[in-house]
Amino acid sequence: MSTSDRAAKTVTEAGPSGAGPAGRPAAAPAARPSGTWLVDLGVLGVAIVWGSTYVAMQWSGQFISVPAFLFLRFAMGALVITLLSLRAWRKVSREEFSLGVLFGVLLFGILFLETLGVRYTLASNAGFLISLSVMLVPLIERIFLRARIAPSIYPLTLLSLAGCALLTLNQGFSVRSGDLIILAAAVIRAAQIVLFGSRAKGREVSLVRVTAIELWVVAAGGLLFSLVQPARSWHEITHLPGDAWLVIAYLGVAGTAFAFLTQLHAARVSSPTRVGLVLSTEPFFAAVFAVVLLSEHLGPLQLAGGALVLLSAYLGRWVDARRRTPPPPAREVTE
């Protein structure tokens, strides 16, 4: 969530080339400048919240296992979205259900790796490394879908890899295990974005329903894996301190429900490129929260590496979006 929640991001990221849990939104109506800036502020709020989730996930790791954490967080988030969209559930289709389940399974894998990985690396590193998925999307499309990509994507990918090297090899040639786990999450996330873009393109689906189903699947996955060690999971949940409950509630409501709903609204009134570029600031906020709240120290090499990753992701999204000719959008059903 982070992430983050990042697969959550598939909604808008699948816009120009991917998206949090949603297909490419229909062409946005012209919005008044003041309204557009309000939408931008809302999306910036999502980037700030998601930046803080790495710190929150790392801190909560001392109290609760990854599966139990995912169950509590996403059950809260899914419940909020479901309650706010009760009328929309009267017309849920089999196609929406199958898409939600498929991408919920992928999202669970991404978030499981993210939540696990951030416990074995710096929160700031996790925020930067997960953004590598932005550069992986066009490469995966090129390899598996034979899609044409802008030539500048290749040097930008090398730039992002150089940034990753500076981030992960800041202590000589030893790489933190958490960094490798986060990189694996970035690869799966990029594949999810590509797959969603190809599966949802041109289909009549409700983004709200698909998103809610996706989140319920993540919660169910957390519950299922928690049952592997039921005694431990029950003990963790029943002995969580009050401040840990507050953090998990914050991640469930703000980091999940608010983030997804804000993206869905922004996708209707703004462009996917504009939303994606604002969300690209997330790694910066992750680093800020890590330094302020966890007293993490970022040396010159890490700062340079983070800047390279952030710059390449920003430019890559912009270049790729300019090159594309939008295909027929997936029509969204509001009810």
In a domain, residue 329? The reply is: no
Say if residue 283 is exposed, middle or buried (CB neighbours under 10 Å; 0-12, 13-18, 19+): buried
**Number of domain units in the chain:** 1
Which residues share a beta bridge with 2? 5
Residue 245 corresponds to which tokens in the numbers above?
């409950």
pLDDT at 325 over 70: no
Residue 57 forms part of a structural domain: yes
Whether residue 32 is contained in a domain is answered as no
What pLDDT sits at residue 329?
Answer: 52
> Per-residue pLDDT for 20 more than 50?
no
Domain limits for position 190: 38-321
Average pLDDT of span 200-204: 67
Residue 307 — very low, low, confident or very high, per pLDDT cuts 50/70/90?
A: confident
Q: Does some domain include residue 80?
A: yes
* The two three-digit tokens of residue 227, written as one number: 């049952």
Q: What is the pLDDT of residue 321?
A: 65
Whether 205 and 23 have beta carbons less than 8 Å apart is answered as yes
Helix (H, G, I), strand (E, B) or coil at 35: helix
Is residue 42 in a domain?
A: yes
Question: Which of 28 and 237 is assigned the larger pLDDT?
Answer: 237
pTM for the whole thing?
A: 0.78
Q: Establish if 66 belongs to a structural domain.
A: yes
pLDDT at 27 over 60: no
Of the listed ranges 40-49, 89-98, 162-171, the one predicted with least confidence? 162-171
316 band by pLDDT with thresholds 50, 70 and 90: confident
DSSP summary character for residue 89:
G
Comparing CA positions, the residue from 289, 287, 280, 271 lying closest to residue 316 is 280
Please indicate, yes or no, if residue 332 is contained in any of the structural domains.
no
Residue 149 has what pLDDT?
A: 76
Query: Around 57, how many Cα atoms within 13 Å sit in the side-chain half-sphere?
Result: 36
Write down the pLDDT at residue 237.
95
pLDDT tier at 14, thresholds 50, 70, 90? very low
pLDDT of amino acid 58: 93
pLDDT of res. 124 = 84
Tell me: pLDDT of 104 over 90: yes
Q: With respect to residue 122, please indicate whether it lies within any of the assigned structural domains.
A: yes
**Helix-strand-coil percent breakdown of the chain, rounded to 5?**
75, 0, 20
Instruction: Give the helix/strand (H/E) hosting 194.
Output: helix 177-200
pLDDT tens by residue, 233-268: 999 999 999 999 999 999 999 999 998 888 878 877
pLDDT at site 174: 62
Q: pLDDT per residue over 122-140, tens digit each?
A: 888 888 888 778 778 878 8
